[in-house]
Structure 1
């Protein structure tokens, strides 16, 4: 018996694995965990899943159950698990598929074991365990068989004492009225459309109703036993709870559209979307997930949503509901808050970081958001119009883009627009700080300047900084990179550079030592001034020449001779004008 059960279980497992792998058409990714080895309680753990296709949807699984989803822009996904506990122990794998279609999945990665002291870890199926489970199952079946025989014997004894049971056909008889009949302990139950009713005159003094995993077992004794259960729904433990997400995340404006994604772990299921007790029409799916679109969003759509699924043939055996997700409506009349980060720049690991959010309303709840996370990181109900969020002992898992918003306490699903983002960059101790140099060191206005930055790791992304201003990052397949700058007056100042991995932009090296870029004063150009001076001098000389010529030619050329004979000789030598001849 035990061997037969073992073979049956192994055969079902192999059939499931072959059925799932039949539609995978992407290479399996690689999965790594940091830190490795035995992880201490409360430590932060990061899983990195690297695929071969960019723009995919990555899914992290623990012991075969999906727990996290990421949509990175590249071919790598980071899954942080802060403050691990014993429940986080287990065997992790990751897969990926396209965002638009879920029929094509990659092979699962090789498993990575996460061991936390005090955790249960992964159960290893050894032959002694399998044999023990099989023996326990055999004993349970024998006990159940004995119980059924005891119930049958007691029923026959009651017939022998003169209690004539009302016997109906063993097969369900569904007539035109849609009724189904069954006999339990000599009493007739009449079921119609999922509701259980008693016959008009059931005898016996007491009732006992037991709810099993799959079916309702009722032993009815006594008159007028008040048993009625409308729409009995049983949770099926073999259906793991699904995951739910919204697109877009973080909130939607009135009149906009939002999509609710529900991802299960069984194919060909019927999915149901629930909102605080309200059920949307179910949707059948041939894959693992289904989409519920909500168009023209209004105030009543705000709230908590969850989803579940069940087999199409067994509508009352349902999975556990997913964790709830909030649909928040953005109110444009609420002013956008402001946000600040202290300290700024690259933060050392283990330091305390404070994020302040300033609004313009009181009696509100502030929420801190980190890009990529489905739910807000923290929330606070301050007495005034500002909130302070403390992130103690930061690590690389805290790096990212942060923003904040607020909601009126009277309207918990109505939110303001998010603030601008601030970048929390955490230094990575394994990245030594780079070196920086300028060529040439001084350059004139309009000249070209080359800033060279080199580190100690290949294939990094380099960032150039000037007095808190960040230039466009540049990727390099080597150890160094060169930034080219066409000089203008605003480029003068102190420069530094840093680098980080392309997949982790918020785990960065310390900045290099600063270098100063000085703009040379331009040499004075006197060419135009000299030309102007020469032209002015030429004009002055020309004017003086004209004046002299006019004075020379405007004097009279003849004058009367002197009557004194002594003066006639002198006048003859000077000419008639009294001046030497030849003016």
Structure 2
């Protein structure tokens, strides 16, 4: 590459005659086009009333003109910002910011001078449009079953895809006024007491951009069973009997029977117990004193200890002590987990990436593998059935196929089969 071509590539300002000469030189030498820029949406890759969505085109050269294009039914048109194309001056940041006015598939490119060819286009970013903002994610930071002391608290964490929003916690259609703390602009922690629980029906959360905008779609429900253990423990049995080993793929019925039922009925909860901790699996309502839980398509991962409790559905919402545990043993290999890539666009050297490994059961340890070799990773989040596994500052050495597996320590330690593969391609800078 000539000195002029090198200067042009790295963004030095040249006079028009030199620019034209350099363009002719590049064409004559058959040099590769300028590197493509990166395009990403900010703050999210969708539109909704009241939200301004941006597309940021990040180049590699200063003092260039950026062009944003939208492809609609095979036709490309230049998307304009305030009627003109975005232009950066020498010395400015190597980026341009466009306001998105309509959904579609977008790409961007840049050129150094009108007489020179444009860079290769960026990858496509799809902007969708929704009537309401997309739902947040609601999680509980601890086990979903609460026992005395009576004034104990439980924390529910609501995370939105946007910053600086107003959150709301609900139980059914009832808006709960409970203490909350926001440690970061996209999340809030709600603190629940037993007096806030009511009939123990599921919780959801939602958010809105401001006081005049619509509320978002509601999160998936989260159930918490809060028992004060003032009522007699229920009877708990398995059909087939827990004394016999169960075959993989079979079904078991777990019957939970309270001594009596109040007029308003009961809410029953089934728990999976592991290493002294209980995880809530199912809840069912009954107008009587008995309920039957069913576990279908059993695998070795379902081998565990189970118990149940019940809660009255009328004030003061008293709850029972847990039943005696029933242990299930299932023959056969455990099912594999699933692995999901949480990055949306291309990954470049120096980026951080996150992979989500989800197991069919809670209480397991998850491992990440790169081309079938164990990868030391940063655990970003741990939930009952999934973990976010992070890789920081990736480079070409991280390119390849990733899988995950889990280890169960109950009752005999075993490894699951490998998950589906996820390919990571790291682009150079």
TM-score for the superposition, normalised by structure 1? 0.32
Q: Which has the higher strand share?
A: 2
Q: Which has the higher helix share?
A: 1
Larger RCO: 1 or 2 (CA < 8 Å, sep 6+): 2
- Is the radius of gyration larger for structure 1 or structure 2? 1
